[in-house]
Amino acid sequence: MKPQKLKKGDTIGVVAPSSCIKEDDLEYINASIALMESAGFKVKFGKYAFEDTYGYGTDPEKRAKDINMMFKDKDVNAIMCVKGGEDSNSCFDYLDFELIKNNPKIICGFSDNTSILDVINDKTGLITFHGPTFKSLTSWGTITAYKQFMKAFVENTNEIGDKEDEFKTIQDGEVEGVLIGGNLELFTKLVCGKYKVNIDGKILFLEELGFESSPDIVNSNLYYLKQNGVFDRISGLWIGNYEHPSKISLENIFMNVLKDAYNFPIIKSNSFGHIDKKTVIPIGAKAKIDTTKDVKIELVENILL
């Protein structure tokens, strides 16, 4: 299920499924409002996006209610998660998946928002988007995230990233599959339990924040995926950004875990994740990895109407 592209005059709804908007966010929030309004968009915040009941946000029921209401609101054309955090998964039980399915529209974010994006896609079939949060449109000191947003949702180029993106082939191959993934720590929570997502035959993309996740934590999470059969079921792997003071690379940790036991193609790029370059990646869309090409991953279907 594909949402509509954006045009000038459309309204962007901003929700906070993770942590709420706090005083030290306001400089960037206001800058992002100004940026999007200058591009011709209207901005509407969820009722509870600023509410801080517990010191890390408000009740999950309220956070989910904001998401539900943004999907229901006919005047809202796209939804952006305002920023990351730790516990967007607490909203799952309160999301109205039938309402979301009946009101398809763009929803975009990254980091902790991984949980919301993957589960909404799995439960409704709606293509969701791993890309900039509202705050990150201006908080990284460049306009790269904004350019990616406009390219994906307004220009509707139907490309992943840019032609000049640098890719590294870790394991050769060619495969088609549906995209799924996001932040490693958050995706690890989605491989079993009530909100387990379907990974069969899919192309898994993963990144991690080195500031919070040391190499041993990354290693532990990857082994958790391995022990739960994730790498036995996917068709391809796309590794994103990871920067840690140790200089240990994410691809090396991956290969230490995989140990050449899998024959799917594996590629690496520093073009998505906790980095200024936030490539918009459509979760639930069909893509193709071909390691013989310079741009090693491309979409094989339109992602917007």
Residues with Cβ within 8 Å of 156's Cβ and at least 6 positions away in sequence, in order, are 5, 304
Query: Model-level pTM?
Result: 0.96
Could you tell me which residues are beta bridge partners of residue 100? Answer: none
**How confident is the model at residue 109, as a pLDDT?**
97
φ, ψ (nearest 5 deg) of residue 122: -65, -40
Q: Check residues 118 and 157 and name the one with the higher pLDDT.
A: 118
pLDDT surpasses 90 at 285: yes
**pLDDT > 90: what percent of the chain?**
89
Q: CATH class for domain 11-153?
A: alpha beta
pLDDT surpasses 90 at 260: no
φ, ψ (nearest 5 deg) of residue 25: -90, -20
The domain spans of the chain are: 11-153, 167-299
Beta-carbon-side half-sphere exposure of residue 25 (alpha carbons within 13 Å): 19
**How confident is the model at residue 241, as a pLDDT?**
94
d(CA 163, CA 249): 24
Span 75-91, average pLDDT: 95
φ, ψ (nearest 5 deg) of residue 268: -135, 140
Task: Decide yes or no: CATH 3.50.30.60 for domain 167-299.
Answer: yes
Tokens representing residue 126 in the block: 């709606």
**How confident is the model at residue 142, as a pLDDT?**
86
- Pick from 4-13, 176-185, 206-215: least confident: 206-215
What's the CA angle centered on 15, arms 11 and 21, to 5 degrees?
A: 120
Provide the mean pLDDT of the chain: 95
